[in-house]
Amino acid sequence: MKLYNKIAFAVLSAALVLSCDRQNDGFDNKIFIDADNYRNEVRVATDEGVKELVKTFSVAMAQPMSQDVNVSLRRADELFDTYRQAYYDDAAVLLPDGYCDLAGLAAVVKAGDVSSEPVEIVFKNLDKLDFSKQYVMPVTIEADGVEVLERAKTMYFVIKEASLVNFVAEMKDNRAWPIWDGWEKVSYLEQFTMECLINCHGFNNDSDILTIMGVEDHFLVRIGDVNIPTNQIQVALAYKDVVGGSTNRVSVTDASLQLKTDRWYHLAVTFNKGFVQVYLDGRLKIEADRHVIGQRPNTETGELEDIIFENVDFSAPHSDESDGKPRCFWVGYSYDANRSLDGMIAEARLWNRVLTAEEINAPNHFYKLYEDQIDESLLAYWKFDEGTGKVVKDHSIYGKDLEADHELVWYPVELP
């Protein structure tokens, strides 16, 4: 499991120069491909039988023109060796004909604008490719009446077999939430399972706590606390006893739940009427019965009686939790910004049942769920595979998307 972000030095240098040129009002007004990276991966999920994928392509100028600028796209096979040298990719092969047709594709920067609308490039018949190989298709632009910026005129599309997980999101100094306002499916759950993939950069912050997901002061999966190592996973449970006028707090944790930095882990936490289990990479590390969360005097006899904690309510309306508003469900955040997750996350899920050890350890389960595995018991499935934006799609049947506080930072990965 490794973070994959290899960018050739030569192309990176060109992108930096281009960035400077875009801010220089004095340079010639040339047309260029509007991209931060000129190596564009087309990752094909062969395990899902994907046959067709679409990529978008835009061009731009530094300053608007008084007339439309028409830009054509063409396949540039003569630049294939340039790609292999720039990216040190001697094993790459040129994409054969019949898998992408650029005939007639064009972009237009309209008069008064500086950018074109996205043009769709369709890759087809992908199920016919031999994915023991990695393919490359160079695409270059030509414009009518306007010079093209040489170092930003070509995009290299790299067609390869997708991994089970291809993108992840950075959660440091960010937070995300679903709109579950009163949703009965997540109200007073007696059984559930939480899962996710996490990779932490570090464990030192101002509060000694990093948050994975849940509801603060109710049911929260987090890392660290004042009484345990800052790299140790902890499930923090709390129950507000209205009768007794107090809040009872307990936790479930163990030294075997200590994490290392820059390593991917699959975490699963199950709850069954107060009985908690914590799995790390498919291994059961600790289980504990917390259904008796405290005691209070009986109002009539004065004798101590048990306070029972047998369900969890995740349905509080989303808010900033200020001015006495109830605590609500977050991913990567709780209480304040000092407790955000200093790391990356993917494949976050919530089920309304207890997954068995066999289900958790089923082939590919850590990294992906397939369509036939998604049923009404899966309340939320946030893959974190968008690669752009601040909205994380819910792939369950319920469609309760996550929204981040601000644009997420995305990383391409290859897991496993």
Extract the residue ranges of the chain whose pLDDT is less than 50: 1-2, 4-26
pTM of the shown model: 0.86
CATH fold match for the domains 2-162 and 167-415: no
> Any idea where the domains of the chain sit in the sequence?
2-162, 167-415
Give the DSSP letter of residue 394: B
Asked if residue 11 lies in contact with residue 39, where contact means CB atoms within 8 angstroms, the answer is yes
d(CA 306, CA 350): 29
Report pLDDT for 27. Answer: 52
Using CB atoms within 10 A of its CB, is residue 112 exposed (0-12), middle (13-18) or buried (19+)?
exposed
Q: How far is CA 393 from the centre of its chain?
A: 9
The verdict on domain 2-162 having CATH code 3.30.530.20 is no
d(CA 251, CA 230): 15
Question: Taking CA 190 as the corner, what is the angle to CA 184 and CA 196, rounded to the nearest 5 degrees?
Answer: 85
State how far the alpha carbon of 252 is from the alpha carbons of 220, 236, 302, 388, in Å.
11, 7, 30, 35
Report pLDDT for 211. Answer: 97
Residue identified by tokens 């050739």 is 8
d(CA 386, CA 263): 21
d(CA 292, CA 307): 6
Q: How many CB atoms lie within 10 A of CB 329?
A: 26
Architecture in CATH for domain 167-415: Sandwich (2.60)
d(CA 18, CA 402): 34
Report pLDDT for 10. Answer: 40
Report pLDDT for 21. Answer: 43
Which tokens is 274 given?
């107060």
Instruction: Write out pLDDT tens, residues 173-188.
Output: 999 999 999 999 999 9
Using CB atoms within 10 A of its CB, is residue 132 exposed (0-12), middle (13-18) or buried (19+)?
exposed
